[in-house]
């Protein structure tokens, strides 16, 4: 158990210790693990290395048709007329759909049901689907698209967020917070002006983080089948079968009981397959219309149009610090370029302001966030969902503050860490907190002290920290049911099957279930059968996003396995004539702890139990603890636990070209407890890879002046680092078990991406003394900054202004140390307070 | 109207094969759609990702840019042809052991490119591995586990009794 | 899945047969070698030949050998074969380097020398799918009327993106072209046009049957390539530099240059020689000032347009840096050899 020492926070009012409710943490046993923590193979590893894993596009059915989507060539236009007659007559075409066939809107968030499977009256980006064809071959379907005529009335397109602020008309959507602003957020936790006044140093900075996309190697694909008894089955490369299930039921007006969604193993997701998509609904409808199986596989270009990637984000940050670096107040503004639809955007916007407070204590905090609609593919959740942008801003900003204070940036951070088991200004409940240990690891490993500000010109080191959630505290649609459910079946032959709605996207979620059940029941994980991501067979798990799976399914699996164990132990104890408390499960046997030879095989224990009480099956579920945040918007940010990472990047900057290369990154990640160390290593390295790409070269680029087309929708021109760009990674795993996690485990899939871009940016400054306050840090920008510096100007490239935005009145929430209870001050009282 | 089919004979994964398919199909399409071998994947179909790699007469090539008809009389190896007699190839084994396959979508291509490398270079340096795999993109792993798996398999293929380093699996102390 | 349009595939075994097939097919016929340029283009509907004639079975077109002290290369040798060959590495290092810098190992196992030298020009308004191009109403190079890069321009500015072609021009290679009217031998430089659409002077029915390299007799050449990533990417700038050192100056204290050529790739619709840059090197020993002057001369006419990766002003600036580095390498190769 983690210690619950009383700790003082931030040097503020009184001491703050959060009582963690015991009931929501399952039995945690931190020693003697047989499976947990070991570097085992994944249970699906053999299938993956033999090519036996069946991805969605690998499915072939007799009489299967192929679907293609006709997409808009306009960024913003009204649809006046669609004529599909010619296409429908083409030999081999079996069905053609347009917007009027699927009139019901959908969307991942209840507050933004703004998408249509096929645009009925208006298109909002180049690539927005307008019509669909099913034909006997992909060739015929493609040829048919060319025979569809669509008459458009072009509207003025909105190419980017600043343009959206400046041009409320014509509106892209007729909902939102006015004009082309989708969402405006204004939250204030304490009076920041008082905090700035109390500071010894106040600094403001502007940053821009360019949009990037997930680029899973597998292009999205889906297959649908409509049976003669009017049941629909959809196989899809989705991270969220449950949400696809809901969207299908809604749009197709079918009872959910008639729909079965099976998520095939995803060939990479990274957040890009977390929305219900047009193509999934379209193949389902086409299967219903034709009575034949229908498959769609998107081209790489179409994957760029699905997008839902990183929001391009403009940020302004102002921080006040005392001489020793304690943060007295922070004010953060973000403007997100959302693209054509809502997607997860409202949550993304909140996330740009949520996690600033969980690394270093922030005494008073104010956040203003805005998301604009623009005529580009919609942005959404990409690895780190909404938090890499502010993290980059914050960590570079801190580097600048440290320099002004004359402090070592590592020391500065180490001095001001959020204490474990505390509440932040915005009411996030921090449990275990291993950032200090992470910092110490990378500082020592990288020889930071020897290198920082001491390397020869052109070489530099930079440091950054970060934190990420282990699952969101609230579900996406309002309900008070569990977030994850597990069923467990014990077979009289000794086999155990785990059923769970979670989705394997390469992160190893199927394996996690097997390891955990094996650990609890003393079995070989490779003998556990795992059935996942099938809405007919498996209890709901919300999906593979927000780093929630290990923690939530893990806890649910522990509960189910513990319940099975209790049943089996009771019957075995009777048979063995010992107290149930002495029954041990290990090595495939069930035996007396005091006399290990006195026992039986696990299979026999199941038989004994089954004979006594019938079929043995249990369930487990997990619901996150109640959040301390009660204010509006407080749903985004709370999490059962927070992971922490620290990284040091070493860079070489070529002063003649501005080209930055990164030979090595040291990264330490506070994992709580690894369930499978090798899988954790893989997630850390993969996150570093993705962070490196975002830091240096990845960019969703559009031609604003040419119809807002995506400039480079290809794997050649969207630059994903190759083996030759990838850096060496020295990884440290910090294990500080969190009572909320299964066996103490926290997330690792996303968090380690976050410190990489700012660490690289800070290292570039260390190497050549220029600031590129804009990601990606391209050679052009570095060279431009170097030239400016040579000319005696400020050696900086980055944004220079934050536009005026019609912010709403703030929601005022007094922080815990100002007597707050997590709720907002009523508006009238707030107004009164301001007068004084 | 179905396309008229052309027929070719070639060696597929060590066995003689005769397949009939529409003449404008690439080897990628022929393998997946006409030979039922879906282990060969695709990410772009334009030569820009390497995901469709197969071996043609032992040399790694892009099956998305190779016409099926051009393979007549040649030897084609796909991931399905790597394991022999129900035993994984040492590369497959090492990939599984180290977690070099995360989502596994790029894996068949990496395995075949690595196999071709080890056929000519049993003791490749890290730099040589990076060069040999520079035509294959992976979005999940950051490549590091892949390099380590290739090195591990290479050692085992040389008959050494190799085990992965502790840092590889558990990180640095 | 992006698929090829329908076509008939022919595999002739002799030059004569290939020419005859092309004559039969007319303008709808196209030769193919490795297919790594043609097939992606066909999938994007840039080219839609109804007959595709593979040159890979034509025996005379593969392999290479020394004839009269010069190397004669078949166009169907793959880029891997070129860069792996000890002979090429030894005597024509710049050719081997350029070939080795093309795209990826997988692509080099398929792509050929001939295909590389005849490579279609590139532009990021053009190398896009049919649907994408439709969204901008196409462009002059295919299906449209206007050039989006230079809207007032009467011509297409698509970029010559071959890595090997600039080297061939720089070292003074000759292409042997065989057509229905017979054979001709053309200096590499004269095989290219600065026009994004008609970028080759070769007639469509002519086959590039051989590439004749000059005898390695006292000249040296290098190739430097600029691109975003270490593999996959086309050159956004290529610098091929060729110099002939003064004969007999081999053992002299300071050798001087009697002739030099600097050829840029990736900045125009053809490999672009910068005669001024070569001229300032003559009579120098490649000292720093000479290199700086040549790099400056190379920089001035370099006019990249906004149709590749990177910002164009940066690409232009890089001409100077890359020319400098190429020439410095030539100088250090010289001193290494004399050691
Ligand atoms: C992702 C990707 C990256 C690439 N990167 C690079 C790069 O970095 N550098 C680079 O230089 N190239 C690059 N290429 C382009 C191309 O693959 C290579 O240049 C290759 O060498 C082309 O050769 P090929 O034999 O495959 O050409 P093919 O596609 O077979 O032919 C290309 C053209 O040349 C004609 N042709 C071929 N041979 C002859 C002949 N003997 N006589 C007459 N006409 C002929 C064909 O009709 C066709 O029009 C890249 C291609 C891709 C897909
Ligand atoms: S340079 Fe102009 S005409 Fe040529 S391909 Fe590009 S846009 Fe088209
Ligand atoms: S599928 Fe991408 S290279 Fe072949
Ligand atoms: S393992 Fe997923 S792309 Fe490589």
The CATH number for C39's domain is 3.30.43.10
Contact C231 B26 (CB under 8 A): no
Q: What is the CA radius of gyration of chain C?
A: 20
Q: Is residue C245 part of a domain?
A: yes
CATH number for the domain spanning C204: value is 3.30.465.10
What is the pLDDT at residue A829? 65
Work out the pLDDT band at B2, boundaries 50, 70, 90: low
Whether ligand 3 lies within 6 angstroms of the CB of B120 is answered as no
Which residues have a Cβ under 8 Å from the Cβ of C142 and sit 6 or more positions away? Answer: C45, C46, C126, C133
How do residues A248-267 score in pLDDT, each as one tens digit? 999 999 999 999 999 999 99
On whether both C281 and C251 belong to a single domain, the answer is yes
Tell me how far apart the alpha carbons of residues B104 and A16 are, in angstroms, rounded to a whole number. 46
The answer to whether the CB atoms of C54 and B45 lie below 8 A apart is no
Residue among A33, A137, A217 with most chain B CBs within 10 A, to mutate: A217
> Does C3 lie at the interface with A, CB-CB under 8 angstroms?
yes
Query: Is the Cβ atom of C159 under 6 angstroms away from ligand 2?
Result: no
SS3 A608: helix
Nearest CA to ligand 2 atom 2: C147
Looking at residue C337, its pLDDT comes to 73
State the pTM of this model.
0.96
Task: Point out the residue among A44, A217, A733 whose CB comes nearest to the CB of B43.
Answer: A217
Residue C95 has pLDDT above 90, yes or no: yes
Residue A196, Cβ density class (10 Å: 0-12 exposed, 13-18 middle, ≥19 buried): middle
The answer to whether residue C150 sits within a structural domain is no
Residue at C152 is within a domain: no
Looking at the fold, whether C23 and C78 belong to one and the same domain comes out as no
Residue A24's pLDDT band, with cuts at 50, 70 and 90, is very low
pLDDT digits (tens, 9 = 90+) for A168-225: 999 999 999 999 999 999 999 999 999 999 999 999 999 999 999 999 999 999 999 9
Residue C68: its pLDDT value, please?
A: 86
| Structural domains of chain B sorted by starting position, each given as residue range(s) with its CATH number in brackets | 6-81 (3.10.20.30), 90-157 (1.10.150.120)
Q: Pocket of ligand 3, candidates B38, B40, B45, B60: which has the most ligand atoms within 8 Å of its Cβ, to mutate? A: B45
Q: Is the CB of C123 under 6 A from ligand 2?
A: yes
- Ligand 1 atom at minimum distance from C208 CA: 42
Query: Is pLDDT above 70 for A6?
Result: no
Asked if residue C183 is part of any domain, the answer here is yes
Report the pLDDT averaged over residues A231-237. 98
Say how many Å lie between the CA of residue B52 and the centre of ligand 3: 5
- List, for residues A445-492, the tens digit of each pLDDT value: 999 999 999 999 999 999 999 999 999 999 999 999 999 999 999 999
C280 shares a domain with C318: yes
- Summarize pLDDT for A605-664 with one digit per residue, the tens: 999 999 999 999 999 999 999 999 999 999 999 999 999 999 999 999 999 999 999 999
Report the residue from B26, B44, B59 with minimal CB separation from C109: B59
Q: How many helices (H) and strands (E) does chain A have?
A: 20, 34
For residues C117-121, give the mean pLDDT. 98
Ligand 4 pocket test target in B51, B103, B111, B135 with most atoms within 8 Å of CB? B103
In a domain, C133, yes or no: no
> Same structural domain for residues C168 and C97?
yes
Please tell me whether residues C231 and C266 are part of one structural domain.
yes
- Minimal-distance CA residue of chain A relative to B147: A723
Q: What is the distance in angstroms between the CA of the first residue and the CA of the last residue of chain A?
A: 47
CA angle A450, A451, A455 (to 5 degrees): 130
The ligand minimizing its distance to the Cα of C307 is 2
Query: Tens digit of pLDDT for each residue in A678-716?
Result: 999 999 999 999 999 999 999 999 998 888 999 999 999
Average confidence (pLDDT) over C69-94:
95
Subunits next to A (3 or more Cβ pairs <8 Å) are B, C
Task: Give A77's strand partners.
Answer: A123, A154
Query: C193 with C256, same domain?
Result: no
Q: Which residues of A touch C128 (CB under 8 A)?
A: 301, 713-714
Task: Give A-chain residues touching C6 at CB under 8 angstroms.
Answer: 139
Contact of C276 with C296, CB cutoff 8 Å = no
Tokens of A36: 């947990």
DSSP annotation string for A209-256: E-------SSPPEEEEEE-TTS-EEEEE--S-HHHHHHHHHHHHT--G
To the nearest whole percent, how much of chain A has pLDDT over 70? 95
Mean residue pLDDT across chain A: 94
The answer on pLDDT for C266 being more than 80 is yes
Closest ligand 1 atom to C110 CA? 26
Mutation site, C51, C105, C233, C234, interface B, largest B CB count within 10 A: C105
Q: Which chain A residues touch B39 with a CB distance below 8 Å?
A: 50-52
The reply to whether C284 touches chain A by the CB within 8 Å rule is: no
Cα-based torsion angle of the residue sequence A186, A191, A196, A197 in order, rounded to the nearest 10 degrees: 150
Residues of B in contact with A60 (CB under 8 A): 33, 36, 38
Domain extent at residue C172: 60-119+159-212
C-beta B80 within 6 A of ligand 3: no
Q: Give the pLDDT band of residue A33 (cuts 50, 70, 90).
A: confident
Among the three residues C59, C84, C99, which one is the final residue of a domain in this structure?
C59
pLDDT of the residue at A706: 85
Reply yes or no: is the peptide bond before residue A56 cis, omega within 30 of 0. no
**Which residue's CA is the nearest one to ligand 4's atom 3?**
B138
Q: Ligand 2 centroid to C304 CA: how many Å?
A: 13
Residues C166 and C247 in one domain: no
- pLDDT digits over A796-830, tens only? 999 999 999 999 999 999 999 999 999 999 876 65
Q: What value does the mean pLDDT of chain B take?
A: 97
The answer on pLDDT for A8 being more than 60 is no
- The Cα–Cα gap between A437 and A428 comes to 21
| Run of H or E residues at A770 | none
Binary contact (A51, B32; C-beta < 8 A): no
Same domain, yes or no: C287 and C190: no
The 3-state DSSP class for residue C294 equals helix
Residues within 6 Å of ligand 4 by CB:
A 217, 268, 506; B 101-107, 138-141
Grouping H, G, I as helix, E, B as strand and the rest as coil, residue A261 is strand
**Residue A2 pLDDT class (50, 70, 90 cuts):** very low
Instruction: Kindly state whether residue C278 falls inside one of the protein's structural domains.
Output: yes
| Pairing state between β A232-236 and A259-263 | parallel
Residue A834 scores a pLDDT above 60? no
- How confident is the model at residue A705, as a pLDDT? 84
Which of residues C17, C32, C59 is at a domain's end? C59
Average pLDDT estimate for B59-84: 97
Measured CA to CA, the distance from residue A95 to residue A141 in angstroms comes to 10
Record: contact B69-C11, CB cut-off 8 A: yes
Q: How far is the CA of B42 from the centre of ligand 1 (A)?
A: 21
Mutate to test the interface with B, among C1, C104, C126, C127 (most CBs of B within 10 A): C104
Report the separation in Å between the CA atom of A217 and the middle of ligand 4, taken as the mean of its atom positions. 7
Domain match, C278 and C176 both: no
Q: What is the CA radius of gyration of chain A?
A: 27
At residue A12, the pLDDT reads: 29
Among C23, C40, C59, the domain boundary falls at C59
Smallest Cβ–Cβ distance between C107 and the set B62, B113, B132 belongs to: B62
C145 CA → ligand 2 middle, Å: 10
- pLDDT score of A16: 30
Residues C188 and C228 in one domain: no
C-beta of C25 in contact with ligand 2 (< 6 A) = no
pLDDT at B4: 87
Q: Which chains touch B (3 or more CB pairs under 8 A)?
A: A, C
> Nearest C-alpha of chain C: how many angstroms from A777?
12
Gap between the Cα atoms of A405 and C274, Å rounded: 53
- Assign residue A271 a region: left if phi > 0, alpha if psi is -120 to 50, beta otherwise? left
Interchain CB distance below 8 Å, C106 and B50: yes
Contact C104, B135 (CB under 8 A): yes
Report yes or no on C144 lying in a domain: no
Ligand nearest to the CA of C133: 2
What does the pLDDT look like over A347-379, one tens digit per residue? 999 999 999 999 999 999 999 999 999 999 999
CB contact under 8 A, C104 and B135: yes
**What is the rounded average pLDDT of the residues A409-427?**
98
Verify that C182 and C325 share a domain, yes or no: no
State whether B23 and C106 contact (CB < 8 Å). Answer: no
Measured between beta carbons, the chain A residues lying within 8 angstroms of C314 are: 658, 779-780, 783
Same domain, C199 and C329: no
Q: Which residues contact A626 (CB under 8 A, 6 or more apart)?
A: none
Residue A763 has pLDDT above 50, yes or no: yes
Q: Domains for chain A: give ranges and CATH numbers.
A: 61-155+214-306 (3.90.1170.50), 185-212+309-405+433-474+629-797 (3.30.365.10), 482-622 (3.30.365.10)
Number of domains in chain C: 3
In a domain, C295, yes or no: yes
- Any chain A CB within 8 A of the CB of C131? yes
From the alpha carbon of C33, which atom of ligand 1 is closest?
30
Between B109 and A26, where is the model more confident? Answer: B109
Q: Does residue A392 carry a pLDDT above 90? A: yes
């Amino acid at each position: 158990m983690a210690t619950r020492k009383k700790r003082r926070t931030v040097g503020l009012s009184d001491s703050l210790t959060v009582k963690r409710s015991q009931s929501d943490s399952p039995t945690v046993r931190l020693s003697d693990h047989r499976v947990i923590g070991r570097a085992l193979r994944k249970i699906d590893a053999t299938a993956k290395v033999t090519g036996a894993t069946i991805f969605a596009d690998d499915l072939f059915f007799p009489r299967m048709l192929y679907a293609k989507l006709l997409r808009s060539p306009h960024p913003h236009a009204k649809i006046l007329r669609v004529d599909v007659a010619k296409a429908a007559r083409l030999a081999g075409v079996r069905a053609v759909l347009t917007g009027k066939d699927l009139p019901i809107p959908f969307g991942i968030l209840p507050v933004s049901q703004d998408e249509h499977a096929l645009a009925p009256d208006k298109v909002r980006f180049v690539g927005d689907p307008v019509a669909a064809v099913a034909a006997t071959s992909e060739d015929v379907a493609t040829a048919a698209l060319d025979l569809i005529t669509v008459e458009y009335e072009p509207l003025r397109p909105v190419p980017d967020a600043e343009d959206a602020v400046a041009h409320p008309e014509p509106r892209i959507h007729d909902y939102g917070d006015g004009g082309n602003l989708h969402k405006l957020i204004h939250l204030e936790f304490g009076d920041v002006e008082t905090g700035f006044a109390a500071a010894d140093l106040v600094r403001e900075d502007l940053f821009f983080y360019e949009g990037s996309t997930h680029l899973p190697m597998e292009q999205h694909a889906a297959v649908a089948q409509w049976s003669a008894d009017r049941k629909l089955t959809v196989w899809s490369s989705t991270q969220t079968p449950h949400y696809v299930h809901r969207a299908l039921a809604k749009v197709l007006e079918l009872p959910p009981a008639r729909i079965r969604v099976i998520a095939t193993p995803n060939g990479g997701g990274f957040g890009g397959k977390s929305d219900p998509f047009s193509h999934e609904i379209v193949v389902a409808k086409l299967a219903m219309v034709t009575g034949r199986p229908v498959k769609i596989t998107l081209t790489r270009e179409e994957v760029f149009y699905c997008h839902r990637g990183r929001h391009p984000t403009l940020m302004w940050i102002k921080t006040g610090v005392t001489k020793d670096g304690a943060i007295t107040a922070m004010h953060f503004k973000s403007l997100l370029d959302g693209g054509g639809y809502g997607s997860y955007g409202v949550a993304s916007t909140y996330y740009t302001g949520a996690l600033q407070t969980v690394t270093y204590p922030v005494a008073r905090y104010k956040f203003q966030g805005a998301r604009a609609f623009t005529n580009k593919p919609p942005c959404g959740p990409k690895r780190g969902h909404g938090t890499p942008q502010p993290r980059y801003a914050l960590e570079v900003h801190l580097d600048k503050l440290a320099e002004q204070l004359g402090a070592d940036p590592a020391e500065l951070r180490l001095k001001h860490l959020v204490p474990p088991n505390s509440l932040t200004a915005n009411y996030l409940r921090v449990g275990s907190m291993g950032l200090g240990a992470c910092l110490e690891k990378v500082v020592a490993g990288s020889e930071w002290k020897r290198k920082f500000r001491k390397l020869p010109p052109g070489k530099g080191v930079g440091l950054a920290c970060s934190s990420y959630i282990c699952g969101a505290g609230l579900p996406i649609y309002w309900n008070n049911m569990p977030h994850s459910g597990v069923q467990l079946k014990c077979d009289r032959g000794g086999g155990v099957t785990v059923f769970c709605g979670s989705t394997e996207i390469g992160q190893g979620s199927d394996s996690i279930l097997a390891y955990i059940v094996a650990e609890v029941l003393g079995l070989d994980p490779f003998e556990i059968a795992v059935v996942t991501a099938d809405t007919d067979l498996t209890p709901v798990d919300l999906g593979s996003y927000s780093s929630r799976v290990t923690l939530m399914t893990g806890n649910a699996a522990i509960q189910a396995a513990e319940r099975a164990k209790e049943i089996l132990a009771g019957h075995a104890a009777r048979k063995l004539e010992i107290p149930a408390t002495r029954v041990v499960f290990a090595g495939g046997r069930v035996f007396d702890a005091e006399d290990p030879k006195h026992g039986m095989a696990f299979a026999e224990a199941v038989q004994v139990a089954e004979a006594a009480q019938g079929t043995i099956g249990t369930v487990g579920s997990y619901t996150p603890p109640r959040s301390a945040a009660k204010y509006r918007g407080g749903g985004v940010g709370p999490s059962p636990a927070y992971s922490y990472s620290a990284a040091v990047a070493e860079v070489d900057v070529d002063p003649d070209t501005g080209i930055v290369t990164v030979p090595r990154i040291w990264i330490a990640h506070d994992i709580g407890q690894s369930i499978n160390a090798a899988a954790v290593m893989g997630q850390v390295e993969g996150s570093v890879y993705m962070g490196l790409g975002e830091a240096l070269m990845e960019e969703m680029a559009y031609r604003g002046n040419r119809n807002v087309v995506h400039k480079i929708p290809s794997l050649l021109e969207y630059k994903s680092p190759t083996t030759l760009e990838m850096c060496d990674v020295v990884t440290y795993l910090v294990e500080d078990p969190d009572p909320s996690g299964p066996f103490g485990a926290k997330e690792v899939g996303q968090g380690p991406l976050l410190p990489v871009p700012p660490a690289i940016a800070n290292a570039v400054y260390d190497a050549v003394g220029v600031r590129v306050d804009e990601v990606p840090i391209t050679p052009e920008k570095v060279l431009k900054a170097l030239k400016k510096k040579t000319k005696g100007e400020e050696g900086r490239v980055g944004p220079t202004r934050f536009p005026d935005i019609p912010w709403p009145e703030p929601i005022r929430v007094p922080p815990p140390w100002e007597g707050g209870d997590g709720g907002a001050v009523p508006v009238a009282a707030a107004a009164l307070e301001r007068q004084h | 109207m179905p396309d008229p089919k052309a027929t070719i004979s070639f060696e597929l994964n060590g066995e003689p094969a005769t397949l009939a398919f529409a003449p404008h199909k690439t080897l990628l399409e022929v393998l997946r759609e006409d030979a039922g071998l879906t282990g060969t994947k695709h990410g772009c179909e334009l030569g820009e990702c390497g995901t469709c790699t197969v071996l043609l007469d032992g040399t790694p090539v892009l099956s998305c840019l190779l016409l099926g008809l051009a393979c007549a009389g040649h030897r084609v190896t796909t991931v399905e042809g790597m394991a022999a007699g129900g035993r994984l190839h040492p590369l497959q084994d090492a990939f599984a052991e180290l977690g070099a396959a995360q989502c596994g979508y790029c894996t068949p291509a990496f395995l075949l490119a690595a196999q071709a490398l080890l056929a000519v270079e049993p003791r490749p340096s890290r730099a040589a591995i990076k060069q040999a795999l520079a035509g294959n993109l992976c979005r999940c792993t950051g490549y590091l586990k892949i390099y380590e798996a290739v090195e591990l398999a290479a050692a085992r293929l040389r008959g050494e009794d190799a085990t992965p380093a502790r840092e590889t699996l558990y990180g640095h102390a | 899945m992006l698929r090829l349009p329908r076509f008939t595939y022919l595999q002739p075994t002799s030059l004569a047969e290939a020419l005859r097939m092309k004559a039969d097919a007319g303008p709808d016929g196209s030769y193919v070698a490795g297919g790594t340029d043609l097939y992606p283009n066909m999938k994007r509907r840039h080219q839609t030949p109804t007959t595709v004639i593979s040159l890979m079975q034509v025996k005379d077109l593969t392999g290479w050998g020394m004839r009269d002290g010069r190397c004669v290369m078949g166009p169907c040798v793959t880029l891997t074969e070129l860069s792996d060959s000890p002979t090429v590495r030894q005597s024509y290092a710049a050719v081997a380097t350029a070939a080795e810098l093309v795209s990826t190992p997988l692509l080099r196992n398929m792509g050929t020398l001939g295909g590389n030298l005849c490579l279609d020009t590139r532009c990021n308004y053009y190398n896009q799918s049919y649907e994408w191009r439709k969204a901008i109403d196409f462009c002059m190079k295919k299906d449209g009327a206007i050039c989006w890069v230079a809207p007032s321009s009467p011509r297409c500015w698509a970029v010559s993106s071959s890595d090997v072609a600039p080297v061939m021009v720089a070292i003074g290679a000759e292409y042997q072209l065989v057509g229905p009217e017979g054979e001709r031998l053309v200096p590499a430089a004269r095989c290219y046009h600065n026009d994004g659409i008609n970028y080759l002077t070769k007639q469509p029915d002519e086959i590039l049957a051989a590439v004749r390299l000059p005898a390695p007799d006292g000249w040296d050449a290098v190739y430097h390539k600029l691109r975003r990533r270490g593999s996959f990417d086309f050159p956004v700038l290529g610098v091929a530099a060729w110099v002939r050192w003064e004969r007999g100056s081999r053992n002299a204290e300071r050798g001087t240059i009697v002739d030099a050529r600097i050829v840029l790739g990736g900045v125009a619709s053809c490999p672009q020689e910068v005669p001024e840059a070569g001229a300032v090197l003559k009579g120098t020993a490649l000292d720093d000032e000479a290199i700086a002057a040549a790099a400056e001369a190379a920089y001035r006419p370099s006019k990249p347009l906004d149709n590749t990766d990177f910002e164009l002003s940066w690409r232009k600036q890089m001409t100077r840096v890359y020319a400098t580095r190429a020439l410095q390498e030539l100088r250090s190769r010289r001193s290494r050899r004399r050691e």
